[in-house]
């Protein structure tokens, strides 16, 4: 059951929506203005478990350079 981030095309409101099923993804309304003109936004994800010997302190959601 995924959580998606959206942005309203009418008022610019950013919001999250939890979907119980795939059919619910087509019934998204802006919680601020009620518009159906919403678009899924690009989301960054983060892992807090060590990978490849990295410590938890090395985990970050921010893009890295290099």
The string of DSSP codes covering the chain is: --EEEEEETTT--EEEEE-SSGGGGG----TTT--S-EEEPP------S--TT--GGG--SS----
pLDDT in tens, 20-65: 766 656 788 999 999 999 998 876 666 566 656 555 454 445 444 4
- CATH class, range 3-44: mainly beta
For residue 21, what pLDDT is reported?
Answer: 66
For residue 2, what pLDDT is reported?
Answer: 72
For residue 10, what pLDDT is reported?
Answer: 96
For residue 3, what pLDDT is reported?
Answer: 80
- What global pTM score does this model have? 0.57
């Amino acid at each position: 059951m995924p959580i998606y981030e959206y942005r309203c095309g009418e008022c610019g409101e950013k919001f999250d929506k939890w979907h119980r099923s795939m059919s619910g993804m087509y019934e998204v309304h802006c919680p601020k203005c009620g518009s159906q003109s919403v678009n899924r936004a690009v989301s960054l994800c983060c892992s807090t478990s060590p990978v490849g010997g990295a410590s938890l302190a090395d985990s970050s959601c921010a893009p890295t350079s290099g």
